[in-house]
A = this chain, B = another copy of it.
Amino acid sequence: MVFTNPPVILASYSVVGPKEGQGPLGKTFSKVWKDQLNGAKSWEVAESNMLQEAMQGSIDQAGIAKDQIDYMLAGDLLNQIISSSFAARKIALPFIGLYGACSTMALGLALGSMLIDGGFARNVLVGASSHHDTAERQFRAPTEQGTQRPMSAQWTVTGAGSVLLGRRGEGPRISSATIGRVIDYAEKDVNNMGSAMAPAVADTILNHFHDLQRKATDYDLIASGDLGAVGLALATEVLKQSGIDMGTAFTDCGVMVFDPSQDVHSGASGCGCSAVVFAGNVMRRIKVGELKRVMLVGSGALHSPTSSLQGESIPGIGHAVVIDA
């Protein structure tokens, strides 16, 4: 969809954990926590607090009264998206809960843009979060166990990002969006989610290019979020075989967050990954004029531990939003 009155990004805010703060993008985040809890009694409470801090950060940055914001759209990886629901309890705005796994930020930006362009909202607050320790014990193994991770595995980002969209004002604009279909190429390895999601990302990019009659060189940056190094290479190859040369503009939020020396194997992941990279690094580069047109392709692995234990493969999805400076 192409927006008639493209919504404006009025503010963005990102909060991350210490490991993310030590990475190559460390200085681009709004706030870096000193530890994984920041005074909370559990990692789950910490994640919800982090999301609330990121949401409030965008409200404060934009200087908009809360009663001028019509909806809050958010999601996360935790069962029953408790990070978002508990943050929404404190933010107290009409709340639309989303589940798109790591694609949530892009899904929220797309839906939020539709609500504004459709005339249903003046301003919409969008956010997503993940936390390494909550995700690790929910999706994989008890953190105390210290299970060895294969080289195709990704490291869940401890981070929360938010964006405040508005009908009016100054700033970059969300000009178009492509909502993805669920694609499943029968990948069953939960330690190789980049491969599970790569076909869905490729499908969405193909559809987007087809619908808008565009090619990769029309963008200064096309960032998937998050395939990791393994998935990025695979998506590039799948697109190449479909006749699409992604050139040099194609990268992945999961590849950007950590330095290889930080021992994260295939890269970063989690709803918070593309959320903080977009709210931090990408928004800064748009603001200083380095990037004129960006496509964020949020990518989600839509499995659960239960579905994987029952022998199911991992369905993937990709949602794209385009930002014009």
Contacts and interface: CB of A to CB of B under 8 A. Distances in A.
B95 A179 contact: yes
Contact of A80 (B1, B79, B85, B86): B79
B95 A81 contact: no
Given A42-B310, A80-B303, A96 B92 contact: no
Given A180-B94, A304-B82, A99 B120 contact: no
Contacts of A117: 118
Contact of A98 (B97, B101, B307, B310): B97
Q: How large is the interface on A (under 10, 10 to 19, 20 to 34, 35 or more residues)?
A: 35 or more
Q: Is the interface of A mostly helix, strand, loop or mixed?
A: mixed
A45 interface: yes
Interface string A286-303: 000000000000000011
A315 interface: yes
A78 B119 CA distance: 33
Interface stretch (A8-16, A107-115, A233-241): A107-115
Interface of A: 1, 4, 41-42, 44-45, 71, 75, 77-82, 85-86, 88-89, 92-101, 107, 111, 114-115, 117-120, 138, 179-184, 302-307, 310, 312, 315, 317
Given A310-B45, A315-B86, A92 B181 contact: yes
Given A85-B315, A95-B182, A96-B111, 8 more contacts: A42-B310, A82-B302, A82-B306, A96-B100, A98-B98, A98-B99, A114-B120, A115-B118
30 contacts: A4-B119, A77-B80, A78-B306, A79-B306, A80-B302, A80-B303, A81-B302, A82-B304, A82-B307, A82-B312, A85-B182, A88-B181, A89-B183, A89-B184, A89-B315, A92-B181, A92-B182, A94-B179, A95-B180, A95-B317, A96-B98, A96-B107, A97-B98, A97-B107, A97-B302, A97-B317, A98-B98, A115-B118, A117-B118, A138-B306
